[in-house]
């Protein structure tokens, strides 16, 4: 039998709130999503004015970060043409997002979920995701 730590809704809300605060600070409205250790959505917010196309992307960046236990920025490098995971974006019903903004959530060195952010430049998404993840 395995035991698994996984984010609660209360954890997810804390993560989202920190992400929202950071997005507000940089002046870029975002979609932010949290998935649990099973890769399943726990909570999502779309800030007023955030891109409609980023709903799906934020949720799937979070999914991707937990699906492979790495940041989507790191996956991006390995998913370029000629690299070892080129083509991975077509797997999992196209849910694999290979650009920055998805980060695993960790507690005591173990991954307990992930956060995904979409709504701005890649660097902005990443910065908001990091601020969000730090609030866990």
Residue numbers at the binding site for its own copies (CB under 8 A): 1-9, 11-13, 36-48, 51-57, 60, 64, 66-69, 76, 79-82, 84-94, 96-100, 107, 112, 121-123
**Least separation, in Å, of the C-beta of 25 and its own copies?**
16
DSSP type of residue 81: T
- Shorter beta-carbon distance to its own copies: residue 30 or 131: 30
| The two three-digit tokens of residue 108, written as one number | 């005591």
- Shorter beta-carbon distance to its own copies: residue 7 or 131: 7
In terms of DSSP bridges, do strands 31-36 and 110-118 run parallel, antiparallel, or are they unpaired?
antiparallel
In the numeric block, the tokens 């998404």 are attached to: 125
**Least separation, in Å, of the C-beta of 43 and its own copies?**
5
* CA gap 101, 115 in Å, rounded: 8
**Least separation, in Å, of the C-beta of 128 and its own copies?**
15
Burial class for 108, CB neighbours closer than 10 Å (0-12, 13-18, 19+): exposed
- Shorter beta-carbon distance to its own copies: residue 104 or 131: 104
Reading phi first (left if > 0) and then psi (alpha if -120 to 50, else beta), residue 129 is in: alpha
- Shorter beta-carbon distance to its own copies: residue 11 or 129: 11
**Least separation, in Å, of the C-beta of 109 and its own copies?**
13
């Amino acid at each position: 039998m395995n035991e698994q730590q996984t984010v609660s809704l209360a954890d997810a809300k804390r993560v989202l709130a920190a992400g929202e605060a950071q997005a507000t600070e940089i002046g870029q409205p975002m979609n932010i999503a949290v998935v649990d250790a099973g890769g399943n959505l726990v909570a999502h917010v779309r800030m007023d004015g955030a891109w409609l196309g980023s709903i799906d992307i934020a949720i799937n960046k979070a999914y991707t970060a937990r699906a492979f236990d790495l940041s989507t920025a790191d996956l991006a490098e390995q998913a370029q043409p000629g690299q070892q995971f080129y083509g991975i974006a077509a797997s999992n019903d196209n849910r694999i997002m290979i650009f920055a903004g998805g980060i695993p959530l960790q507690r005591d060195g173990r991954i307990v979920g992930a956060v995904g952010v979409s709504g701005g430049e890649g660097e902005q998404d990443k910065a908001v995701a990091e601020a969000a993840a730090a609030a866990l």
